[in-house]
Copies of this chain bind each other. A is one copy, B any other.
Amino acid sequence: MKFKLGCDLEYKILEETVFIFNFQVAKLQRHKALTDSLTLKPDLPVVDYTVPDLQNRYIRVLAQPGDFSVHYTAEVDLHVHRADPTGVREMDVRDLPLDILPQLLPSRFVPSDRLADFAYREFGDFPRGYERVSAICSWIYQNIDYRRGSSNSETTATEILIRRAGVCRDFAHLGIAFCRALGIPARLVSCYAFGLSPADFHAVFEAYLDGRWWLFDATRQAALDGLVRIGVGRDAAEIAFSTPFGLMEAGPINIWIERADGEPEPTPRTTDAISTEEPAPNAGAA
């Protein structure tokens, strides 16, 4: 599917501020024919850095006091990999590539080391594989309220289990937490999500099954084959769309994504297993 998308960010800079941004579409193989354009006002110099393997694109900008705005647009032809979920097997830790193991470890917002008992109680008896991660998503969907403003930038997955309310990043953090607690590598994905209403940066997660990363969205708010990836990381700490160092006020944000291929509105939600990345190279595999 071809998409047009973009975002507009506005800031009032009070004192010199360094921004690290991560809102550009990742340069994945499955993001075909990607073209994009970035406009800053004023037109400041940009330092960019693309993370090897992950392909997250970070830029750094030094903004001086006054108004500062960012305008980004992109076009991309998203070719997802599809599979029958029933054939997607779970892997044993003895078979995982060793470079993927960090995605089994607890992180700032995902203290999965504290959830082993919980995870095995709730999900230990499910058939291992895609189905088990789907069961995790269903549990989250049924037990957590999606509620704007119910969490903040410090909220962890365990806190969500107590409060029973959160937003997309909290749903994803909790999915990651249960996966890691069960021995399934998992990581956070930020993206432009076709069909998400209202439009916003979206967060979903990926679990590593059967030799590749598969997308999951416990919020059920967007189709898995309409997610254009920005970044992946262990949790939200790594892939904030904007990390400012300095004194400034953030203004309104505008995010959008639409079909660019003249196709009619979306078909029914896919039930396929969806991946947007190639199988991981087997660094350190047996």
Interface residues of A (CB under 8 A from B): 18, 20, 47-49, 51, 58, 60, 62, 92-94, 98-99, 101-102, 105-108, 110-111, 113-115, 117-118, 121, 143, 145, 153-154, 158, 161-165, 183, 237-238, 245, 283-286
Contact = CB atoms under 8 A, between A and B. Distances in A.
If over half of A's interface residues share one DSSP class (helix, strand or loop), that class is named, otherwise mixed; here it is mixed
A284 B162 contact: no
A162 B238 CA distance: 23
Contacts of A110: 108
Nearest to A96: B60
Contact of A113 (B101, B115, B154): B154
Given A162-B162, A284-B47, A113 B18 contact: no
Contacts of A47: 98, 284-286
Given A49-B284, A105-B108, A164 B121 contact: yes
Given A62-B94, A114-B154, 19 more contacts: A18-B93, A18-B94, A20-B101, A47-B98, A47-B284, A49-B99, A58-B98, A58-B284, A60-B94, A106-B237, A108-B108, A108-B110, A108-B113, A113-B237, A117-B163, A117-B164, A117-B165, A118-B162, A162-B162
